[in-house]
Amino acid sequence: MRSTTVLPGVPSPPPGAGDVALHRLEVAGPDAPPFAAGSFEEVGPLSRWDRPHRHTFYELVHVTAGSGAHVVDLARWPVRPPQLTVVLPGQVHHWEGGRGPEGSLALFTDDFLVDHPGDREVLRELGTRCPFPLDAEHDRAIGCLFAELLTEHRQRAAGHESVLRSLLHVLVLRAARLPGPAGHRADHHAGPRAQGRSAAVAEAFTELVAGSGAAGWSVRQCADRLGVTPGYLTQAVRAATGRPPGRLLIEARVYRAQQLLAHTRLSVRQVAARTGFSDPAYFGRFFRRETGSSPGAFRKHHSRHHQSLEAPSGRA
């Protein structure tokens, strides 16, 4: 499962100096599906963690009670139940202040979407529009789906993995119909779509870019990693997203830099190195060009330091 899960009692490795903690999904055994569900109490205290952290897995949260705020990357959303939230792998998030939250969670990795691979794209779009306020009708419908997921997960009857995947697929598609905070609906069918091998290459590129290990890679390096030519990669990604891969690489680099500046105590020099820049001055010019702000000014505006983050051991 690509090191996205751990067995019970296996601790996650401690974060590097100044970095953000990374949580892996705990599963019952080596052959257990990469899925978990339950209330906040059942999932455990980390489900309400008030310190910035990342996941290797998706997290769908049906909040039915509570107050305070949910901080996801650079946005601070008030907890106003009932609401539905989607947290994507790699996003930095934590719960802040108030009481609660209360409700239900479904946790799963990319591997669990094997029967419905198109749900990855829908989830990525949902993760940019959260949270979703729920009226009474939508709250009942989402609550019923979560109740079925939790019952199936607890009982583990014959064929429960297939039922869980099907219920999760329905939940994802129902969530895609919800109006977001600004009242807009996602149109995950809009735009061009690649087919066959081209679609698989575009999906693999998206996963590669989402990983921090690809920071600073070129289109050619990504193409070599995926076993295709740069031209084929460009065509595949354009067909799937309508955008060139070079632009997506730049945006992923900026996104990673923003995460590190806002949620860690790494120096600007260290952030530059983590995002593939050997020259901090060039990194500063790049960051200003893409965001309109210097790294230092961005950090001053967005950073909220937490005791959970270690101080940097030295300059990289």
In angstroms, the CA 206 to CA 102 distance is 33
The whole-number average pLDDT for the span 13-38 is 83
Q: Are strands 25-26 and 5-6 parallel, antiparallel or unpaired?
A: parallel
| Residue of higher predicted confidence among 140 and 10 | 140
Instruction: Report the distance separating Cα 25 and Cα 111, nearest Å.
Output: 12
For residue 313, pLDDT over 90 is answered with no
Mean of pLDDT values over 78-92: 94
Q: Which residue has the higher pLDDT, 209 or 41?
A: 41
Cα dihedral sign for 44, 45, 50, 53?
A: negative
Q: What CATH number does the domain located at 5-176 have?
A: 2.60.120.280
Domain coordinates of the chain in residue numbers? 5-176, 196-302
Taking the alpha carbons of 173, 109, 251, 236 in that order, is the dihedral positive or negative?
Answer: negative
Q: What is the DSSP letter of 231?
A: H
Class of domain 196-302 as given by CATH: mainly alpha
pLDDT, one tens digit per residue, over 211-251 is: 766 778 899 999 999 999 999 999 999 888 888 999 999 99
SS3 assignment, position 139: helix
- pLDDT given at position 290: 93
Question: Which phi and psi angles does 291 have, rounded to 5°?
Answer: -115, -15
What is the rounded average pLDDT for all residues in the chain? 85
| Band (316; pLDDT cuts 50, 70, 90) | very low
Examine the pLDDT at 186 and tell me if it is beyond 90: no
- Residue 127 gets which letter from DSSP? H
* pLDDT one-digit tens code per residue, 280-295: 999 999 999 999 999 9
Q: Write down the pTM of the prediction.
A: 0.73
